[in-house]
Amino acid sequence: MGIYVNPGNQAFKRIDGPNYVDKTGMIRLFNETIGGEDSLVCISRPRRFGKSYSAKMLSAYYDCSCDSHDLFDNKVVSKCKSYEEHINKYNVICLDISGFISVARREKVSLADVPSRIAKAIKEEILVLDPEAPRDKSLENCLVHCVERPNGRQFIFIIDEWDAMIREARDDDNAQQIYLNLLRGWFKNTNFTPKVVAAAYMTGILPIKKDGSQSAISDFKEYSVVKPRKYAEYVGFTENEVIRLCEEKKIDFNSMKRWYDGYSFKEIESVYNPNSVMEAIKNEDFDSYWSESTISTDLMEYISKDFNGLTKTVAELIGGLKVKVDTNGFSNDLITFKGRDDVLTLLIHLGYLAYDSVNGTVYIPNEEIRIEFQRSIHEVTHEETLKRLKESEQLFKDTIQMNEDAVAAQIERVHTEETVALHYNKEDSLRSVIKLAYYSYRDHYIQFEELPSGEGYSDIVYLPKADSDWPALVIELKWNESAEGAIAQILERKYPSVIENYGRTILLVGISYDKNSEAGKKTHKCKILPYRVGR
């Protein structure tokens, strides 16, 4: 066994404990590609989404230097027809590119030297595996010799964080080209690749660039966070997997969902960040574990870029709105931005935004990421967003103090500023305005829309968090009707009944919009009434 060549199964054995979530069904999909035209697979996801765990799993399964039956016989993959055909049948080259970069940084070596260091490290171990391989020839020659010797085996390449060189050397074209030439020699060489490479699995954060500069890996079949396709359920936790974990660990699932759900693939719907879920279970504490990722500081850089409409979009996202985005123009790098949509698309790949592929919209997925946005807008020059944040906080105070005129005035101001951008009609438009106006609610409240209550559905309910002493708010919206009529509907249909026993004061808030009001008169009205239990 080596470090990079046939590293054994110890890395996977360390994570195969009582908390391991079985993702070995992925091996069946990968087995189907071996030796075929789709044998080069690249999966891109945000950091800490389980990509490295998959790399360790695949390495342990295919590595011919060990017997991994005791690790996989009780897993899902053992029931697949291809299980015995491929288990421990290949030489494996397993690389973590970010590890090589870290060493180069520590030793103050140019990133342009990293590819040669990778090749040297692999060759040294190949010469141990095959002592008769030509020492004076290239790594590729040694690999060919190793495969062609008696009882020789093909190689499966597993490359974790393949794009680390592209990201870290973003301003060093020479270093990037040397690295890409290394990959080109492995995966785009008609004399080498079919003979030596049985299959390859690469992980990264960013998709492969579209401009041809990464043609060395253009033959890879790509499965990104925007288009995960058949690999959707295997990188990240599905909702059923999280439910089972919460049941086993006696953790409140609703809290887990609020904190870490929000990503969604149309193939499987809800997807959770595995690292955050497991940290919450281990620490018995729901918190933002995202800030522990080294990429978290990048959010401040990207949301402060000077693109038309970006500042307003950030405010809409924090307000809980879904925002239209065009992901097709993104160049799949960290430096080429043509406008707002490119920034939003990058934030999807980094995990700061979730993508609704059906409707073509983005949104902040959960409480954890919302906290990161809040931190960032306070640390960067985001004056418009900060202004809206302060206005929202004042709006809550005015609502709680039952200052009806101030509430109506602020709602009207937001509606006037945002109507063109929102492109909604009637009640949907007013609902979006309310959500945007009250967008700082997450500091004190949990928001519910169309909450089943009494004899109908209340438009919006803000339920105080356990550590907040603010009252509950039941908000009813009316288009071309009176605010008093909104209050009457709340009472008639008994909307507050569902939260009467919550132990908090309840305020009923009626907000109306009259698009036909006379010139010079307010188009928005507000009525606020304390609710008495048993009314």
pLDDT at 307: 80
pLDDT at 113: 96
Please state, in angstroms and as integers, the Cα–Cα distance from residue 140 to each residue in 119, 154, 186, 217, following that order. 9, 13, 8, 17
The span from the CA of 128 to the CA of 117, in Å, is: 17
Low-confidence residues of the chain: pLDDT under 50: 293-296, 420-425
Residue written as token pair 């909604």: 424
Surface-to-core class of residue 323, CB atoms within 10 Å of its CB (0-12 exposed, 13-18 middle, 19+ buried): buried
- Please list the alpha-helical segments (H only) found in 295-445: 298-303, 310-318, 340-350, 367-379, 383-400, 404-422, 426-437
The span from the CA of 528 to the CA of 507, in Å, is: 7
pLDDT at 444: 83
> Residue 372 is encoded by which pair of tokens?
């990161």
Summarised one tens digit per residue, pLDDT across range 86-124 is: 999 999 999 999 999 999 999 999 999 999 999 999 999
Task: Output phi, psi for 393, to 5 deg.
Answer: -60, -40
Helix/strand/coil percent split, the chain, to 5: 45, 15, 35
- Report all structural domains of the chain as residue ranges with CATH numbers, in order of start: 10-232 (3.40.50), 236-287 (no CATH), 295-381 (no CATH), 383-531 (3.40.1350)
pLDDT at 294: 47
Summarised one tens digit per residue, pLDDT across range 409-454 is: 998 888 877 654 444 445 566 777 887 788 777 778 888 888 787 6
Residue written as token pair 């979009």: 313
- Contacts made by residues 448-454, CB under 8 angstroms, sequence distance 24+: 451/495, 451/498, 452/498, 453/493, 453/494, 453/495, 453/496, 453/497, 453/498, 453/499, 454/493, 454/494, 454/495, 454/496, 454/497, 454/498
pLDDT at 335: 79
Beta-bridged to residue 511, according to DSSP, are 477, 526
Summarised one tens digit per residue, pLDDT across range 162-195 is: 999 988 888 888 999 999 999 999 998 888 999 9
3-state secondary structure 442-494: HHCEEEEEEEEECCEEEEEEEEECCCCCCCEEEEEEEECCCHHHHHHHHHHCC
pLDDT at 336: 81
The span from the CA of 508 to the CA of 156, in Å, is: 64
- Would you say the C-alpha torsion 376, 380, 382, 383 has a positive or negative sign? positive
Strands 221-223 and 197-204: unpaired
User: Taking the model in full, what pTM does it have?
Assistant: 0.78
456 residue type, one letter:
G
Q: Are 282 and 248 in contact (CB under 8 A)?
A: no
pLDDT at 319: 74
Pick from 40, 236, 264: which is nearest to 156 by CA? Answer: 40
pLDDT at 423: 45
